[in-house]
Amino acid sequence: MPIRLIVGLGNPGPRYADTRHNAGFWFVDRLVDGLGGSFRAESRFEGEVARVSVGGTACDLLKPLTFMNRSGNAVQKLAGFHKIPPAQILVVHDELDLPVGTARLKMGGGHGGHNGLRDLHRHLGPDYARLRIGIGHPGIREEVVGYVLERPSRAEETAMREAINAALESVNDLVAGDWDKAVRRLHARAAPDKEKES
Q: Which residues are catalytic?
A: 21
- Inter-residue contact 45 to 63 (CB < 8 Å): no
DSSP conformational letter for 180: H
* Residue 113 exposed, middle or buried by CB count within 10 Å (0-12, 13-18, 19+): exposed
Going from the C-alpha of 41 to that of each of 27, 66, 79, 84, the distances in angstroms are: 18, 12, 16, 20
- What is the C-alpha separation between 106 and 152, in angstroms, rounded? 24
The alpha-carbon radius of gyration of the chain (Å, integer) is 16
Burial code (b: 16+ CB inside 10 Å, e: under 16) for 32-60 equals: beebeeebeebeebbbbbbebebeeeebb
Nearest to 94 by CA among 54, 134, 42, 66: 134
Helices (H) and strands (E) in the chain, counts: 8, 7
